[in-house]
Amino acid sequence: MYTISISAPSYKGIYTVKFSSNGKYIVSGGNETGINLWDIKSGRLLKKLHKGITINSVSMSRDGKYILSGGEDGSLHVWDIVSGECIQSHSEELYSNIDDIEILFDDDTVVYSHGVNLSFIQLSKNKKIHTIDIRNISDERYQECTYISVYNKYITFGHKENVFLCSLDGTVLQKFVGHNGNVVSTKIASDGLIIASSSADKSIILWDAVNGDIIHQLYGHKEVITSIVFSKDEKYLISTSKDQTIRLWDCTTGEQKHIFKMEKEYKGIYDIDISPNGKYLISGGGDGIVKLWDIESGEILIHFIDKGYGEWISYCEKEPGVEYYNCSENSRKDVFFYNNIMSIFNDEPSLCDKDNKIYTERYTNILLDKFEY
């Protein structure tokens, strides 16, 4: 059996991950990584955009034509997936990070958070529609808005310890009070009846969206909860944390059903997304590696590693004890087998079995031939 040892750029954390609407691709971004577009089935890095820029949030249009990104440069960018060209940029007058991006139900209106504002743009007209100043809603004058979630013509966001449900014009419909720390993430169920929020107080709250009551408050994470997402049938909520775990919660009972633990994850897990068919998760974290998970088994199926300068490696354990990988041509020299250990290095290792030809036999263009979209 071959175990895997990885030397990855741990300082280049992955801050944001998203599935495409057809489930075939992953978009990721992070600390000075730019934007990466991955093909899941082959593991290939198809495109790299906005190189060297720290990306806080990415999204992809439902028709698969555009990638949207926001980050440290204070602008929302719209990218043509085929050409890789930036076709729209929307900069803010006051330079601030773009923290989160959501595409509304019409696949044309985009809302994004930056500082104390939520701004809306219309892609088809390439213009900003309006901006909501959070200071007109909340008593806290200088606290930045956190991650947002949209449902139909409604939007939720966190502001300090509170969660707000608003119409798209900024009218407050409900204020949810119950957290003891800053709200980090919010999500609305597809029927609009339940809102989930996570907080620096290490808890998750499921709210009744109509009357504002707490349905369940979920405890179990040991550190700040960084991201949450509903399962496709919405029976479960999935959460990530800086405590290096992904947790599965029963929305009806509030019970913790499963824990996905990392063997090694620098600075925790920052973001997750669920596949359109509900069978897979992707995660990004402080180790700089995007991971594809099987929800039912809790196993990691593929690791996607951006080595920088256009070089990449993806690998999976296709059957017990047999690893398969795919990589850019120049990265093949970084994969070695030594003493039954498959090692992936950023730099030339001081000790390796360079004459061992096992790595060439296990090089494949298809990582997951049974992957279901």
Report domain extents, the chain: 12-312
Backbone angles phi, psi at 361, to 5 degrees: -70, -25
Q: Are strands 341-344 and 3-6 parallel, antiparallel or unpaired?
A: parallel
- pLDDT value of position 64: 92
Burial class (CB within 10 angstroms; exposed 0-12, middle 13-18, buried 19+) of 231 = middle
Burial class (CB within 10 angstroms; exposed 0-12, middle 13-18, buried 19+) of 138 = middle
Say what the alpha-carbon torsion angle 259, 261, 267, 268 is, to the nearest 10 degrees: -30
d(Cα 190, Cα 179) in Å, to the nearest integer? 23
d(Cα 77, Cα 60) in Å, to the nearest integer? 12
Give me the long-range contacts of 111-114 (CB less than 8 A, separation at least 24).
111/148, 111/150, 111/155, 111/168, 112/57, 112/70, 112/76, 112/148, 113/144, 113/145, 113/146, 113/147, 113/148, 113/157, 114/70, 114/74
d(Cα 156, Cα 160) in Å, to the nearest integer? 13
Residues sharing a CB contact under 8 Å with residue 283, sequence separation 6 or more, in sequence order:
17, 240, 246, 269, 271, 272, 290, 291, 293
What are the pLDDT tens digits along the chain (373 aa)?
A: 334 444 454 457 899 999 999 999 999 999 888 999 999 988 889 999 988 889 999 999 999 999 999 988 888 999 999 999 999 999 876 557 888 999 998 899 999 988 888 899 999 999 999 998 887 776 655 455 667 888 778 899 988 899 999 998 889 999 999 999 999 999 999 888 999 999 999 999 999 999 999 999 999 999 999 999 999 999 999 999 988 899 999 999 999 999 987 766 567 899 999 999 999 999 999 888 999 999 988 888 888 988 887 888 888 765 555 566 777 877 766 665 544 445 554 444 333 344 433 343 444 444 555 566 6
At 208, the amino acid letter reads D
Q: For tokens 């449900």, name the residue.
A: 165
DSSP conformational letter for 65: S
Q: Are strands 236-241 and 14-19 parallel, antiparallel or unpaired?
A: unpaired
d(Cα 11, Cα 30) in Å, to the nearest integer? 10
Structure token pair of residue 46: 């198809």
d(Cα 76, Cα 120) in Å, to the nearest integer? 11
Structure token pair of residue 87: 């076709």
Half-sphere exposure of 280 (CA within 13 A, CB side): 28
In sign, the C-alpha dihedral spanning 152, 57, 113, 201 is: positive
For 266-325, the pLDDT digits (tens) are 678 999 999 999 999 999 998 889 999 999 888 888 889 888 878 888 887 655 555 667
What Å distances lie between residue 140 and 239, 281, 354, CA to CA? 27, 35, 60
For 120-129, the pLDDT digits (tens) are 999 999 999 9
d(Cα 139, Cα 261) in Å, to the nearest integer? 39
d(Cα 193, Cα 310) in Å, to the nearest integer? 44
Residues sharing a CB contact under 8 Å with residue 173, sequence separation 6 or more, in sequence order:
154, 165, 166, 167
CA proximity to 91, closest of 108, 105, 112: 112
Residues sharing a CB contact under 8 Å with residue 266, sequence separation 6 or more, in sequence order:
10, 13, 285, 286, 287, 288
The top-level CATH class assigned to 12-312 is mainly beta
